[in-house]
Structure 1
Amino acid sequence: MLKELMFYLKDKRQRLKWTQHDLSLESSISQTVISRIENGHDTGSVREFFALLETLDIDREEFIMQLDLISPRKQLDDARKHKDFTKMKEVLEGIPSYIREKNSYLNTYCIYHEALLSYRADDLVRAIHLLQEAKSMLEIYNPIDVILAEIHLMIGIIELQLGREAFQHFKKANHVIKNVLVTRQNFKHIIRVYGNLAAIYCRKGWFHLVKRELDNATALQKQFESTYLKTDIEYSRLLLYMNTKDPLLHDQFTYMKCLLKDYPNEKIKQRLSNIRIRID
């Protein structure tokens, strides 16, 4: 991320047909510092960095937008969303250690994704160790965070696989996520956590908790007029009705078939084809 960002600054300088010496004279920043910044060895001080932006006539909003596009956190989010573990590994390897040392939140983010890679490699012991480390760090300086809810969720999943008590971790995930300030930027992330909790509770037979999480997810979908994970959420509701023999079961089954016409989902369509609903 840092190298790409510094290339952006260097490219801007070269398009102005300035040498590093020219930029140094215009900005009153030493050529040595400029060289280190452009080569990705350092970011300079905040004053120096923004002085360069101003000297190169780079609008701050333009810069922030560019920064967001190449942000390692965003790249890790995208890799996690698409389950692209190769990309996840590449992003992690591309973040210099000194940047992680300077940015505690980014470091925590990296540890969390390293845990996901360990889980992917079936190294459950290392995965849970890394998750516990990330959890401890977040609980100190950001106790209400969507990622912290995901971490509690993952710890619970691994504890289940290891045959250990896991409910406390799911309970903590719910406590964190329901206290997160919901925005248009994070509501999909929150819906995903609620959906995952519902799926886990359904497998464990904790059906009263399944309904709670599904209702939470549906409320957010309605609030933001979104269809994000709609088929997944409604399929989980169908499973809930099947397991509790809810009188709305047949209606939900019919609704699911209609829903799949508007929002195709081959995996759920296949599962639905294996379900037989008896009408009494």
Structure 2
Amino acid sequence: MNTSRYLVKENEKIDLSKFATAENNRPDEEELQKKLIPETVKKLKDLHLKLNAQEEKGILVVLQAMDAAGKDEAISYIFSNLNAQGLRTMTLGKPTETELAHDYLWRIHDGLPARGEIGILNRSHYEEVIAPRVHDLLKEEPIPDDVIGEDIWAVRFRQINDFERYLSENGFPVVKFFFNVSKEEQKKRLLTRMKDPNKNWEFSFSDVEERQHWDDYQQIFEDMLNHTSTEHAPWYVLPADDESYSRYIIAQVMVELLEEINPQFPEISGEDKEKLEEAIRLLENE
């Protein structure tokens, strides 16, 4: 797979409407489910185990999308296969009063990975350049008036880029996935949740309310992608109507990133090796 097809290149402006929400030129479903996805997830699992053992670098994964685009399912089908000890997941909702009393990046810190971990943000700091912009919420938040200028969103894009560069330069590369779901497919998935009693718990009335702002969201998503996809923290736009193939893309991108990091199991040497050999002898002679 050529994952660069889904990459938003730095300083190259995109038109989000020209990114497909489904992939026609892809392997058949049986090959994806029985061969490609399992093989790629196994590679990912093996590489993650080495990352976790080495404890030198961590990875921050950002998942961003409209409701019902497939973020939760991607976590379940891909990342849940990894060693839980080296995995951290945070789901962000509407900011609490405590969170609003801090800077807007403050609330994601508990979700950031330690060395050896993959941290997943299901929604993320990007919420702060999306929802407040759609609903004009900044005036309702306890932010000083002199901070809210006409260029507030450009300032926040720059701040987010600086923050992600900081993470990357300190050994925590960032990779971001935008689930590009069509309005029709989202409608289909929401109706499934609403009509199936076993899926009612997944539905929120706000999901339907937010659809009324669909065009605004698409414009803001495009702006976000164009201003915050960088070499150290790239965005990948997934054809999210195709859930299986989107999961395959995520797994493949993660494998490529980990292969670039090239984590290795730590080697025991010197005095520690002698202690290990002595411990082995003690156990064998019990």
TM-score (norm 1): 0.24
Bigger fraction of residues in helix: 1
Bigger fraction of residues in strand: 2
Structure exhibiting the larger radius of gyration computed from Cα positions: 1
Higher relative contact order (CA 8 A, sep 6+): 2
